[in-house]
Amino acid sequence: MKWIKVIERLPDTDICVLALLDSSNIVIISYTDDKKNNLQYWKEPGYYGYTFEKKEVTHWMPLPEPTKDTT
Q: DSSP string covering the chain, please?
A: ---EETTT-PPPTT-EEEEEETTTEEEEEEEEEETTTTEEEEE-SSTT--EE-GGGEEEEEEPPPPPS---
**Cβ(26)–Cβ(56) below 8 Å:** no
pTM for the full model? 0.77
pLDDT at 38: 73
pLDDT at 8: 95
pLDDT at 55: 66
Q: How do residues 18-65 score in pLDDT, each as one tens digit?
A: 999 876 889 898 888 877 777 777 888 776 666 666 668 899 999 998
